[in-house]
Amino acid sequence: MLEYFAIAISLFFAMNIGASGAAASMGVAYGAGAIKKAWQALLLCAIGVYSGAVLGGGEVVKTISSGIMPQDYITVKVVIIILISATSSLFFANLLGIPLSTSEVTVGAVVGVGIAYKVLFVRSLLVIISFWIIVPLVAFVIALVFGKLLYKLQNRGLLKDRPILTVLLVLAGFFEAFSAGMNNVANAVGPLVGAGMMDVTMGIVLGGAFVALGAMLLGKRVLETNGKKIVRFQKAEGILISSTGALLVGVSSLFGLPVPLTQVTSSSIIGMGMAKNGKQIFHQHIVKKIIRIWIVSPIFSLAISYFLVQLFLEKDLYAIILIGTIIVGTLGVISLMRTMREEEQSIYDAGEGI
């Protein structure tokens, strides 16, 4: 019964990954008018994410299932704790209006269990964390360098809106969905593979199918939102942003490294903004948001998984009280920060209106 429950949580998590992350990969192409119909964009996204999961998702699944802590410790109960921790982290973050990375919350949840049992592979974890920093920085530099070249060509009238840009933009979005499938399917099925409930092949086929299903059935709202927000990007800018994120996440997936696509894409956008407007982009709210996501995502899910292990498996009262206090305190601080930010924004808007 517990195995069925764990699988159900995993597949539900996979559908939500498809809705929130994978569907967003086609937002640039849809918002710029390269793809006219929402269902067409979602279908392309579903095909891309499933293909990426099946053809290249195996290495990241191995990392999540056995590369952070010994596989012997990943039981059915531990799988349920990991999945509940990751899912609840995303749920609380949505309530507070803070977008989290599925890769980071999943790794954080696994790390929390590893700390509870004192069996963490520290070296592997340090490699993963270093790439969480390096990959977005590389995305920023690529977008900055090529963004400057792009704007020079546009200013000289050498880069016009041609049909080939439409085709390239659609391909870039598909490539981004492909890379999302390579990297993100492991977040849902990696713990199941680690517990021996299914092998890697079955995990990526089943997980990829549900990520694709989530993109198709639940991704329209995300697609519409992202499309409207990204309309301000021209097609050439969209190609650069999507292809940069897709390339870096795809390469990371080949080496079995779970990386946050959200931060990579945001870093690309910041690089484009700096190429266009200079250093004033660092005063924008998006930079503060990225830093907050980096810090909050893994720590919050780590604390929850550690708390649940102590509560249900170890029954350590002092640890339960300590971690529970940390979780509640973190929620309070985040909520307070959000309230202060909203008040600052209201004051700013009022000043703009005067």
Mean pLDDT by 10 residues, the chain (354 residues): 89 84 77 85 93 94 93 91 85 62 89 92 93 93 92 80 87 93 93 93 94 88 68 78 92 93 82 78 61 76 85 71 64 59 49 42
What pLDDT shows up at residue 353?
A: 43
Distance of CA 4 to the CA centre of its chain: 26
Question: Which long-range contacts link 328-336 to residues 24+ away (Cβ below 8 Å)?
Answer: 330/296, 330/299, 330/300, 330/303, 331/92, 331/96, 334/96, 334/98, 334/296, 335/96
pLDDT score recorded for residue 20: 72
Return the pLDDT at 350.
Answer: 40
pLDDT of residue 177: 93
- C-alpha torsion sign, points 36, 261, 6, 80: negative
Residue 336: predicted pLDDT: 59
Q: Within a 13 Å sphere around the CA of 281, how many CA atoms are in the beta-carbon half?
A: 16
pLDDT for 263 equals 80
